[in-house]
Amino acid sequence: MSNELKAGGFCVEAGKKLTGFFEVPGTPVKMPFTMVNGCKEGKTVVITGGTHGGEYPGAETAIRIAQELCPEKVCGKVIVVHPVNVPSFMARTQYVSPLDGVNLNRVYPGKALGTVSERIAYFISSELFSQADFYMDLHGGDIHEWLTPFVLIPMAGSKEVAEESRKAAEIFGVPYVIGSWGTGGTIGAASLMGVPGFLSEIGGRGLWCEDEVQLYLRGVRNVLKLYGVIEGEPEKFCDTVWMDKMVGVDAGVSGCWYPCVVPEDVVKEGQKIGEIRDFFGKVLEEYFCPINGKIMYVISSLPVEAGNPIYCVGPM
Ligand SMILES: [Zn+2]
């Protein structure tokens, strides 16, 4: 049958829903999945939550949307992985997998014979992106990140892919849509394979709440409507501000981080953003904003390590 939905060695006939675990070859990783092959033909949408294990609103949204989709009401195919980074999710690690110390969202499209994270990325790219018409990667602020909700769209692929991604991001229901120029993450890799998509950011600081999950679910359902996968007209929930990139600043030294801004603060070039002090209170470095803009996220943990992000500002 040409209308079967296949991935990771599983096969789902039209009109059926299957849940199980994708085994990532050569690793102990088993990723929970839900595959829905609708009664009617249509687009194929891939949804991942928990690419970073400590970003709970996105992971919980993936778990919920997987439960609510049923083949009778789906036109096309949906594959949800919920969550992707099971080792990091269970170990509550920030950014990296406890198995290889690698940030999964830096190693796409992955390697068949790489580290655990590289093999996860390879599985997602080769098995899922290869058949997707659209891709949603649901993130949030990590355990130590405080952010204002935004959506990143891939700019590294074709102009058409970027435009289609932006159209979907603008109806997702959060106010900021930002260009992402990287290729080593989920959406960058998918875009280079011709798949439009976005990476959404809601919540953070190791928390999740029902309001965030509902905001997330509303957006995911709206994009599924845009692609005709579920019934209904997509709505416009809010006006969006476009930013063609974000400017991230990394810590120059390790120490204790004292920010003097919060997410959504409007900041001016040269304005002080925070400082890093040593354990005795001595100021090691001060940070001043490089541009006029809006604070998109700021690190909320006291410790920071040299080379890790401390804040990010969107140009305005
Ligand atoms: Zn993330």
Q: Which of 88, 85, 149 is nearest to 121 (CA)?
A: 85
| Mean pLDDT, rounded, for 196-201 | 98
Using the mean position of ligand 1's atoms as its centre, give its distance from the Cα of residue 310 in Å: 15
Name the class of domain 5-242.
alpha beta
Measured CA angle at 126 (ends 78, 182), to 5 deg: 95
Using the mean position of ligand 1's atoms as its centre, give its distance from the Cα of residue 196 in Å: 18
Q: Is residue 117 classed as helix, strand or coil in its secondary structure? A: helix
- Assess whether pLDDT exceeds 60 at residue 1: no
As to burial, measured by CB atoms within 10 angstroms (0-12 exposed, 13-18 middle, 19+ buried), residue 204 is: buried
Q: Is residue 288 classed as helix, strand or coil in its secondary structure? A: strand
Using the mean position of ligand 1's atoms as its centre, give its distance from the Cα of residue 28 in Å: 22
Residue 271 to residues 180, 294, 307: CA-CA distances in angstroms? 25, 12, 21
- Assess whether pLDDT exceeds 60 at residue 199: yes
Read off the pLDDT band of 144 (50, 70, 90).
Answer: very high
Using the mean position of ligand 1's atoms as its centre, give its distance from the Cα of residue 120 in Å: 15
Residue at token pair 């990771």:
8
Q: Which of 265, 272, 305 is nearest to 290 (CA)?
A: 272
One DSSP character per residue, 43-95 reads: EEEEEEE-SSTT-HHHHHHHHHHHHH--GGG-EEEEEEES-S-HHHHHHT-SS
Using the mean position of ligand 1's atoms as its centre, give its distance from the Cα of residue 112 in Å: 23
Maximum separation of any 2 CA atoms in the chain, in Å: 69
Using the mean position of ligand 1's atoms as its centre, give its distance from the Cα of residue 55 in Å: 6
- Assess whether pLDDT exceeds 80 at residue 17: yes
Residue type present at position 101: G
Q: Which of 1-5, 71-75, 101-105 is predicted least confidently?
A: 1-5
- Assess whether pLDDT exceeds 60 at residue 231: yes
- Assess whether pLDDT exceeds 70 at residue 98: yes
Using the mean position of ligand 1's atoms as its centre, give its distance from the Cα of residue 259 in Å: 21
137/46 Cα distance (integer angstroms): 8
Using the mean position of ligand 1's atoms as its centre, give its distance from the Cα of residue 39 in Å: 33
Using the mean position of ligand 1's atoms as its centre, give its distance from the Cα of residue 41 in Å: 32
| Mean pLDDT, rounded, for 218-233 | 98
Read off the pLDDT band of 36 (50, 70, 90).
Answer: very high
Mean pLDDT of the chain: 97
As to burial, measured by CB atoms within 10 angstroms (0-12 exposed, 13-18 middle, 19+ buried), residue 31 is: buried
Using the mean position of ligand 1's atoms as its centre, give its distance from the Cα of residue 305 in Å: 18
Delimit the domains of the chain by residue range. 5-242, 246-315
Q: What percent of the chain has pLDDT over 90?
A: 99
pLDDT of residue 2: 65
Q: What percent of the chain has pLDDT over 70?
A: 99
Pairing of strands 10-12, 30-37: unpaired
Q: In this structure, which CATH number among 3.30.70.20, 2.40.128.90, 2.60.40.60, 2.40.50.100 belongs to the domain 246-315? A: 2.40.50.100
| Mean pLDDT, rounded, for 265-277 | 98
Q: Which of 313, 306, 307, 305 is nearest to 288 (CA)?
A: 313
Using the mean position of ligand 1's atoms as its centre, give its distance from the Cα of residue 217 in Å: 17
